[in-house]
Amino acid sequence: MAEKEENHDLVGSYFLELWRLKSKRREASSTDEDNVVEMMDLDKNEEDFDSDEIELEPSELDTTKSSSGFSIVLPDKLSVKYPRVNLHGHDVGVVQANHPAPLKRLVYYFEITVKDAGTKGQISIGFTPNAVNLHRQPGWDANTFGYHGDDGLLYRGQGRGEIFGPTYTKGDTVGAGINYASLKIFFTKNGQLVGYLIDNTVKGHLYPTIGVHSQNEEVTVNFGKTEFRFDIEAYEATERAKQHIYIENIIIPQTASYGVVRSYLQHYGYAETLEVFDQATQESVPPITGFHENGFNEHNMYKVEDRKYLRKLIKDGQIDDAFDNLRKLFPQIVQNDTSAICFMLYCQKFIELIRVGHLEEAVDYGRTHFQKFNSLKEYHDLVQECAALLAYQEPAKSAVGYLLDDAQRENVADAVNALILSTNPNLQDNNKTSYLHSYLERLLMQLTACFLEKRSLNGNQGEGFHLKKQLLAKNA
- The per-residue pLDDT for 374 is 85
Q: What pLDDT does 291 receive?
A: 53
- Residues lower than pLDDT 50 in the chain: 1-2, 31-52, 293-298, 430
Please, which contacts does 394-401 make with residues 24 or more away whose CB atoms are closer than 8 Å? 395/354, 399/26, 399/27, 399/30, 400/23, 400/26
Give me the torsion for CA of 186, 188, 192, 197, rounded to 10°: -30
Predicted local distance difference test score (pLDDT) of residue 440 = 82
Q: Are 274 and 265 in contact (CB under 8 A)?
A: yes
Alpha carbons 185 and 109: distance in angstroms, whole number: 10
DSSP string for residues in 324-336: HHHHHH-HHHHSS
**pTM recorded for the entire structure:** 0.60
In the prediction, which pLDDT does 416 show?
95
Tens of pLDDT, residue by residue over 133-180, are 999 999 999 999 999 999 999 999 887 899 999 999 999 999 999 998
Supply the pLDDT for residue 297: 44
Domains of the chain: 72-244 (2.60.120.920), 298-457 (no CATH)
Which amino acid belongs to residue 273?
Answer: T
* C-alpha angle 206-200-225 in degrees, rounded to nearest 5: 35
Which residues are within 8 A (CB) of 117 and not within 5 positions of it... i.e. 6 or more apart? 123, 149, 169, 170, 217
Q: Which residues pair with 177 in a beta bridge?
A: 109, 186
Distance CA 257, CA 260 (A): 5
| Per-residue confidence (pLDDT) for residue 182, from 0 to 100 | 86
Each as own residue / partner, the long-range contacts of residues 375-379 (CB below 8 Å, 24 or more positions apart, any chain) are 376/338, 378/16, 379/343
The rounded distance, in Å, linking the Cα atoms of 19 and 412 is 9
The Cα–Cα gap between 73 and 69 comes to: 10
Give the pLDDT score at 447.
78
Q: Is 185 helix (H, G, I), strand (E, B) or coil?
A: strand
CA distance 61 to 64: 9
Query: Comparing C-alpha atoms, which of 437, 405, 408 is closest to residue 421?
Result: 437
